[in-house]
Amino acid sequence: MDQTQVIDPNNTAEIHKMLAESGYSEKAIDYFLQKPYMGDLPDADQISQMVGSCGDTMGIYLKVEAGVIQDARYQVLGCPGAIASAMAAVDLVKGKSIPEARKLTDGDIFRLLEEIPPKKHHCIQLAVKTLQKALDEYEHKVR
């Protein structure tokens, strides 16, 4: 008999348990399960994309008005750590000026997430690098 355990993607209780046992905090699990900023912005002023060292991909959509990030969304083809990090990044940069958003660090996201497994820290870096790339490309365009 096949002993492989298949997790039902709709069974949030099972997913929650598995992530908690892997070292994700309640906060990180909430961001992953709720995905509050996953998707696109039809009227985005900047769309950028980045592929991480692991091969996972993030796209970011920024709405910028008068130099302030009004809204942002991420599209993430990646792991729970990547999704939680991207969602936390939006909460940290929404309403911030571009220079303020540029100061976002991996540590800021880690503090907001409270805990994710150590081998997932590069997922936080991918969220930050994707944002920085979008800010670079946006500023290059409007300069």
Among 62, 113, 126, 134, binds ligand FES (CB under 6 A): 126
Q: Write the DSSP assignment of 109-123 as a string of letters.
A: HHHHH----GGGHHH
List binders of ligand FES among 17-56 (CB under 6 A). Answer: 52, 54, 56
79 binds ligand FES (CB under 6 A): yes
CB-CB contact of 89 with 128 (8 Å) = yes
Nearest-approach distance from CB 26 to ligand FES, in angstroms: 19
Among 19, 64, 69, 82, binds ligand FES (CB under 6 A): 82
Nearest-approach distance from CB 34 to ligand FES, in angstroms: 18
Q: By CB under 6 A, how many residues form the interface with ligand FES?
A: 10
Nearest-approach distance from CB 14 to ligand FES, in angstroms: 20
Q: Interacting stretch for ligand FES, rule CB under 6 A, among 18-26, 30-38, 73-81, 130-138?
A: 73-81
Long-range contacts of 132-137 (CB under 8 A, 24+ apart): 132/102, 133/48, 133/50, 133/60, 134/46, 134/47, 134/48, 134/60, 134/62, 135/46, 135/62, 135/98, 135/101, 135/102, 137/46, 137/48
Among 123, 128, 131, 134, binds ligand FES (CB under 6 A): 123
Residue ranges that bind ligand FES, judged by CB under 6 A: 52, 54, 56, 78-79, 81-82, 120, 123, 126
